[in-house]
Structure 1
Amino acid sequence: MNPDDHRLLTPLPRPLWEQGAGFPALALANLLADSPFAKPEGAGGRQNTRKKAKSCIFLFMFGGPSQVDLFDYKPELQKRDGQTIENEFRRGTKTKATLQASRRSFKQHGKSGLWCSDAFPQLARHMDKLAVVKSLYSDSFAHGSALLQMNSGRILQGHPSLGAWLSYGLGTLNKNLPDYVVMLDPRGGPTTGAPNWSSGFMPAKYQGTVLRTDSQPMLDLKPSAGTSREQQRRELDFLQVVNAEHERTHPGYSELAARIASYELAFKLQTTAPEALDLSKEDPRTLERYGINTPKPTWHPLAQGPAPFGRQCLTARRLVERGVRFVQLYSGGGGAGGQNTWDGHHGIEENLRLHCPEVDQPIAALLEDLEQRGLLDETLVVWGGEFGRMPVSETFNTGGKPGGRDHNPKGFTYWLAGAGVKAGTSYGETDELGEAAVVNRHHLRDLHATILHLMGLDHTRLTYPHGGLQEKLTGVLPTSIIQGVVA
């Protein structure tokens, strides 16, 4: 499936599809919690524990950002630049490799003294808001499976994504917007595409709704010329009757139920979506703060500058302000392996020069904006990628050209900010070279458990019946909340 395709659901038979009141290309996935399809069947189900955060914004750096060049300062790596070590560049496969010190300058910032490199000069001003976890590890060296594991807890397709679990577990805060929204990089979607925001074996209504990155985030919201609101209402009412009969003959087909309800939500979105997505209503100073009016750089053909991610960050703030539960923003897009993502095989310095300025100003503005509006206390912000990078100079994938960094799932960094987070915290450590987590090691399933906890959900009780099992986001292996980052 094309990751840029917003038409995520299986279509209805053509005669019904064409009666969609002017929305034939719109297939929104997250529906109203009070619809007849919103309540899950069976044991487990939705947990009504106290909500510590109302919404979550997940800033996903696709490709794998380099922790040793951004937040995980390693003096020993700097000292040993150019020395040869034995490096596990793929699971169980070792080779001789040359240590590569960071070319970034690191400083401690704020009252907390958290380390941040000069790659993020504006975000550095907000380190006291962050809880930085430096000791995460995962299971896969490959982008596709690592992406799926970070987004769904599994390395294989077919499981619900984090946003789907949150939508299922918490229900809706609004009746006129999707609960789960995804915005992709203008350069393309991530490897493995739509399964990263899928509802998996849950009903299709819990999957993410993809907003386009151009001037028209949602297609076909406007009715055809000469069609009044009242006429649309009558057409939709008739369509719902016909579709309900069709659904009756296809029991258990959740994609059909989601498609039917998407018509109703699309009707409401004609008025709510344009208002929510209209950034022209923002103060010009706000647009400037997010970097939205910054011209596109000309120094590199892949450079975007801060404007695209700035628009996404500001849109995310407007969405959570209006009750959207989960918003995931992707920085980096298209096929992995090139400088179009954070996948710095072919030169880590060029990669950082491309991508850090694209997100630094927007993320700093988002944190400041959320705080000023009183939204940071009820919004969880999460930053990271599918894995980190190695502390050695890569030659394996570059034809012998030095200067890049390879994938590293053995030790990488995430940070969290906002509701329920112990701000100004550095938690865990990698080894002296930044290769593997060694102090307070946590598998990414612990990160998932922590996110659920901060959103007011118990990862041991949030279950969904499938295949005779009570499935969980965190699976069956021992899992613990990262208490060191929880206030």
Structure 2
Amino acid sequence: MNRETDVYSVEDHTQRIEDLFLTRRQWLTQTGTGFGALALSCMLAEQGHAQAKSGGGALAPKTPPRTPKAKRVLNIFLQGAAPHMDLWDPRPELNANNGKSQGNRKLLGSPFRFPKYGKSGLEFSEIWPNLGRHADDVAIVRSTYTDAPAHGPATYMQNTGEMQEIRPAVGSWVMYGLGTENQNLPGFITMRPGNAPDPRNYTNAFLPGAFQGTFVDSNNTKIEDIIKNIKSEFASRRDQRKQLDLLLKLNEVHKQKRQAEGELEARINTFELAYRMQTDAREAFDIAGEKPETLAKYGNNGQGRQMLIARRLLERGVRFVQVAQGGWDLHGGIAQRAKRNADQLDPAIGAIVDDLKERGLFNDTLIYITSEFGRSSREDGAGGRGHNARALSTVLMGGGIKGGMAYGSTDELGGAAVENKVHVKDIHATVLNQLGFDHEQLTFRTGGRDFRLTQATRTLPQGGTVVDGILA
């Protein structure tokens, strides 16, 4: 047959997989004389992401531009705005003036002693005896401040560097820059006992979907409850593999016509990760095999359980783990409530530092303890304090941090940072610095602009600045 003059060819009329899809570009080209396709191609160019740059997928491990001091991060978040002058910042003058009137309120001294811990003699509250065993590894930034004394916006600031706009979380930026060392587990996991936090606090925002954080409710003790649908009730692993391979083939055809758009790539990665997690996640999150003495050391409560899981995740290559403890909105009853919170959290902090040191992971794990803002020097409710954005403390250790030291200071009553002031964005800059990045150069382009975690603002025109004074 003459191929050019054939009226009918079976090959020409056999439906192919490719024919089942019509891309947005094809639709616009066919119906909008091509100008829609031109606009769309520009939009897609702006949405280019790490897959294309890394050559190994968005989550593949990457080498930072500088020699890193830390390879992984643990953030301990004290949700509710912990009172810095009762935990980390001893204020003798405040204690000496306890009960004296200031305006329409009375000054409130701390109910706790501040012993000197370690060879360095670093002072912090008596309610942290297990952390005190590691005082010579701890740096306390006592001059941190933030932009607003409101829980929601200040929590966004701590987690994303922005109070109003939806921006990527710190963990998402870290994954964007470094990828993750374990392709069978999420690279950014946030845990807390109970309901999930506001998703804005662990969102990837405009970064590709592969960098989205994963929430885990650490109240759950069964792996099937910790990770929903971890095991299929309808198909064997072999059948799931066959189904997934077929789905990947279809998605690959779909993706090729869309120039590897970020959302589609993220969805494909999610299917594959979910399959692999059936084995690795079950093993990582199941602490039933830990020795009884280990469980007791961490504490048989929600905080102990999630900190033990955090250790297991970090040692398995998860890049960024956040654990949160609520109950720090102490408008009253600091003496009882802060002590109760610390009794649950302090043993777990001491235990995870012990274990990381024993496993040779402490020196390249950056640990930092944060809260959304600080508390007032004056009494609010009975034995409690009001909100205060002008002063809070940040605690750091491991990952190239100089231990046994306090940096900066508040005024004599602890009401405002006055010496070596450190904005929350400066803490973020320091985290990225220890991971091997110039925080001003780790950027992502979207909407015609380059964005970074430490973005400059009207009130902070320089953006973040690395806190060199706490670096070893």
TM range (shorter): 0.7 to 0.9
Candidates 118, 123, 136, aligned match of 2:131? 123
Offset of residue 124 of structure 1: 2.0
1:392-416, Cα deviation, whole Å (9 max, x unpaired): 101xxxxxx4322111110110111
Offset of residue 282 of structure 1: 2.0
Larger Rg: 2
Offset of residue 247 of structure 1: 4.8
> Residues 269, 34 of structure 1: CA spacing in aligned structure 2 closer, same or farther, 3 A cutoff?
farther
Report whether the alignment pairs 1:81 with 2:66.
Answer: no
Question: Which SS does the other structure have where 1:357 is aligned?
Answer: helix
Offset of residue 64 of structure 1: 0.8
Query: What residue is the counterpart of 2:264 in the other structure?
Result: 256
Report whether the alignment pairs 1:402 with 2:382.
Answer: yes
Q: In 1, Cα distance between the equivalents of 2:236 and 2:193?
A: 36
1:347-387, Cα deviation, whole Å (9 max, x unpaired): 32232133111211111111111111111011111112111
> Residues 232, 314 of structure 1: CA spacing in aligned structure 2 closer, same or farther, 3 A cutoff?
same
Report whether the alignment pairs 1:317 with 2:322.
Answer: no
Candidates 66, 71, 82, aligned match of 1:54? 71
Candidates 386, 410, 414, aligned match of 2:394? 414
Candidates 172, 177, 181, aligned match of 2:185? 177
Q: In 1, Cα distance between the equivalents of 2:392 and 2:270?
A: 39
List gaps (5 residues or longer) in structure 1: 1-29, 40-44, 87-95, 293-306, 333-340, 395-400
Offset of residue 442 of structure 1: 1.1
Question: Which SS does the other structure have where 2:66 is aligned?
Answer: coil
Query: What residue is the counterpart of 2:227 in the other structure?
Result: 218
Report whether the alignment pairs 1:425 with 2:405.
Answer: yes
Q: In 1, Cα distance between the equivalents of 2:126 and 2:402?
A: 24
Q: In 1, Cα distance between the equivalents of 2:51 and 2:413?
A: 47
Query: What residue is the counterpart of 2:81 in the other structure?
Result: 64
Report whether the alignment pairs 1:453 with 2:433.
Answer: yes
Map of 1:13-412 to 2, 5 A cutoff? 36=57, 47-86=64-103, 96-186=104-194, 188-190=195-197, 193-213=198-218, 214=220, 215=222, 216-225=225-234, 227-247=235-255, 254-292=262-300, 307-332=301-326, 341-394=327-380, 401-412=381-392
Q: In 2, Cα distance between the equivalents of 1:352 and 1:229?
A: 47
CA RMSD of aligned residues (A): 2.2
Name the amino acid aligned to 1:452: L
Offset of residue 468 of structure 1: 1.6
Query: What residue is the counterpart of 1:3 in the other structure?
Result: none
Offset of residue 61 of structure 1: 0.5
Q: In 2, Cα distance between the equivalents of 1:318 and 1:148?
A: 27
- So what's the TM-score if we normalise by structure 1? 0.80
Greater share of helix residues, 1 or 2? 2
Contact 1:47 1:462 in 2 (8 A): no
- So what's the TM-score if we normalise by structure 2? 0.83
Task: Tell me the number of residue pairs that the alignment of Structure 1 and Structure 2 aligns.
Answer: 412
Larger mean CA deviation between 322-331 and 275-284 belongs to 275-284
Name the amino acid aligned to 2:238: E
Offset of residue 47 of structure 1: 4.4
Contact 2:433 2:466 in 1 (8 A): yes
Contact 1:31 1:265 in 2 (8 A): no
List gaps (5 residues or longer) in structure 2: 1-49
Name the amino acid aligned to 1:275: E
Q: Percent identity?
A: 39
Offset of residue 241 of structure 1: 2.4
Contact 2:118 2:136 in 1 (8 A): yes
Query: What residue is the counterpart of 1:17 in the other structure?
Result: none
Q: In 1, Cα distance between the equivalents of 2:58 and 2:319?
A: 18
1:427-473, Cα deviation, whole Å (9 max, x unpaired): 11000001100111111111111111111111111111122211111
Contact 2:141 2:407 in 1 (8 A): yes
Offset of residue 185 of structure 1: 2.5
Question: Which SS does the other structure have where 1:280 is aligned?
Answer: coil
Offset of residue 212 of structure 1: 2.5
Offset of residue 37 of structure 1: 5.3
Offset of residue 38 of structure 1: 5.5
